[in-house]
Amino acid sequence: MKEISVVAAVIKHDNKILCVQRGANKYNYISKKYEFPGGKIENGETLEDTIIREVQEELKMTIKTEKQYLTVKHQYPDFALTMYSFICSCEDPTVQLTEHIAYQWLASSELEGLDWAAADIPIVEKLVMNG
């Protein structure tokens, strides 16, 4: 079973959280699902370096990592995922999508209304619980 380690950014601005929607994917269980932006860790990168690079590549957005949040281990049918999430902030909330098909800025109380990728759900639940 393939194992993948990724980072995810919970980007907060004006009490809203950035949620991005994946495009179509060969794995239907993550196709068009919402997720927190992020991606795979490259050799020699720290988790923080990875998250800053991935958000810049995917959203043309500059973020600052505030603190590590929740680490999720999830078993999808085709791969095992370890996802390190971070609470992040941004000065400028402007988003330019390069890989995703949509985005929304939502209050934590609104997060459960989206169709999330399974690995992101524990992060959503913790954000909703902590307000």
Q: How does pLDDT run across 113-123, given as a tens digit for each residue?
A: 999 999 999 99
Amino acid, single-letter form, for residue 71: T
Taking residues 81-88, what's their average pLDDT? 98
Q: Give residue 131's pLDDT band: very low, low, confident or very high (50, 70, 90).
A: confident
Taking residues 64-75, what's their average pLDDT? 98
Does the pLDDT of residue 1 top 90, yes or no?
Answer: no
Taking residues 68-79, what's their average pLDDT? 97
Domains by residue range for the chain, with CATH = 2-130 (3.90.79.10)
With pLDDT > 70 as the criterion, what percentage of the chain qualifies?
Answer: 100
Containing H/E element for 7?
A: strand 2-13
SS (H, E, C) 68-131: EEEEEEEECCCEEEEEEEEEEECCCCCCCCCCCCEEEEECHHHHHHCCECHHHHHHHHHHHHHC
Q: For 9-56, how does the pLDDT look when each residue is reduced to its tens digit (9 = 90+)?
A: 999 999 999 999 999 999 899 999 999 999 999 999 999 999 999 999
- List the structure tokens of 68: 């590590």
Amino acid, single-letter form, for residue 98: T
